[in-house]
Amino acid sequence: MIKLENAADLKVGQRIQIQMEDDSKKSLLAHLYSNDSGSTAKITKPIKVTFVSRVAAIKADYIKLERPLRWDIRKSWKPTLMTFAPTVSEVGIEELGLSFPEKSL
């Protein structure tokens, strides 16, 4: 469960987006690469990460997401939660399968 300041405007089934931005110490980048990111000297702008999921449950100011989070949420990364409203929809490929010939070794 994720604690919010106020979950009153959210609804179960609603798609939300969580966005976070790295701090000056690049701690988010370090976290994403398990403290093994190599040299980050050429990364001059803070990275941002986003995660989209549906709200599975709401209890007071706590929400449960339909999908597990891919990373921690920390206040130092300035997490923001917003409704997810993509500008493009009904676009994509359905029922596409790829098959490769078998190779004998």
The secondary structure of the chain as a DSSP string is -EE-S--TT--TT-EEEEEEE--TT-HHHHHHTTT-----TT--SPPEEEEEEEEEEEETTEEEESS--SS---GGG--EEEE---S--S-S--S----------
pLDDT in tens, 41-59: 888 888 999 999 999 999 9
Averaged over 67-93, what is the pLDDT? 91
| Residue at 70 is within a domain | yes
Domain housing 49: 2-83
- The total number of structural domains in the chain stands at 1
Using alpha carbons, list the distances in angstroms from residue 38 to 13, 43, 76.
39, 11, 22
Residue whose tokens read 């500008």: 87
On whether residue 97 sits in a domain, the answer given is no
Question: Has residue 32 been placed in a domain?
Answer: yes
- Asked whether residue 88 is assigned to any structural domain, the reply reads no
Whether the per-residue pLDDT at 2 is higher than 90: the answer is yes
* Full-model pTM: 0.75
Instruction: Compute the distance between CA of residue 63 and CA of residue 7 in angstroms, rounded to an integer.
Output: 7
